[in-house]
Structure 1
């Protein structure tokens, strides 16, 4: 999939081609192909029926009776109410003047838990427009589900709230937009500014393992190490015109195809293929790098 990157000119051409393809209609197929390189395994051989095996009428009747009894037992179990404790995840949008303490108090959770759910420190500042994850446990009574029949391909349905949020983000990803409202992807100092024609974005320094967050709601179009110069790279599409990229990560916490929310941790900061611990943050409009600063709040602290 990827070419020899020993020639800087070839590498630069490969990078341009990747971003051009990402901005085009073949986005998902291209990234899916990249993510699956080297992971394809031969399909397991299907078991063949034994032609010498014969079923006698007696054994067939016994098998039918057994299957009938099993189905009856499953149906009876399926009608029995079961009490379960489920974990519910919701998101709250930070308003101007909010703090972790205020949000934690209003939702009756501890600041420590709120910070842990969002991969930040309890002393961190939050910014207006940022989304914070809230996790709660609820006790519900449900009908026990009957065991899936062999060969069934139906997956478990997602909670309605998550499905609605996913549809909302998916709709936004497909929409043309003249701009995008971002939050800072990391807490830290800008150690390399954007220079047209020289740099692709801005570098925000920090410590190894610091959280890297999604700058806005969107869909993860790429998460991997396909280009050496980027190290561990995540690309998030926010609408038809704008993408953001997060490079040199130590660890990726999302995968291609995931829907992410603004403020959600997507990676841990690192120094992969870089000479310092920092995240290279890029904003791309129609596949071309633009200065991220006009789209960000005044400072990483808001």
Structure 2
């Protein structure tokens, strides 16, 4: 088996770690990374662990249907990571979320129809469940509260309609934390660490008692690699290792960077939680999130 893989958004935080691992697989012959380099970092190109013989970079936008269609035609497996991550509500941000996260995913689906693609893996978000104190599984109703989550959910629908034509694996992913060659301060866990490292202080909105689902970058990548190498039935899969309180994160930050100052704003405010589990833990077996290990790996890489 000599797989040709297309990774959209592959030069980013998750993509860099994923492409590195895909390049180690004997079953993978070629990896095309399609990315518009929207992020200011170019760290992807300086990762000495990439298999340069297998990895080919193509600069382009997910909305460039002509270029996208050409790349899709030569792929056996597509891993769709291209996405805009923003909590903004201004008109420009809302337009970008709609275009990229919704219609960009739709265009990928249209391009894949009749192309010979065997499998599409799509990175969605647990945010599609909204908030609540009850544990959410793949069977739970969706109630996205943010424009980001709303557009991701619409993107899911565009791909899942193709599940009779080829395999569609939708991964609803918790907040990702862990070291990558492409750094990211997105997500509360990564943001806290970088604020503590660089600013020596972390600001917390509310009382910090709300729960959020977290997943390590290592577990996320290993799950995607498993889905590339094996037949995983079409459907939706939650990827979350631990539901942690924000206060738990502060303890872990304090353990690795004890000089950090913590500043609470609106500390009497309790924010709603999101707790996520999976009905498919036998397929993607998880271990409890080891946040100390993840922060420790970050600290090893820090130059200050």
**Normalising TM by the smaller chain, what interval?**
under 0.3
Q: Which has the larger radius of gyration?
A: 1
The structure in which a higher percent of residues are helix is 2
TM-score by length of 2: 0.23
TM-score by length of 1: 0.23
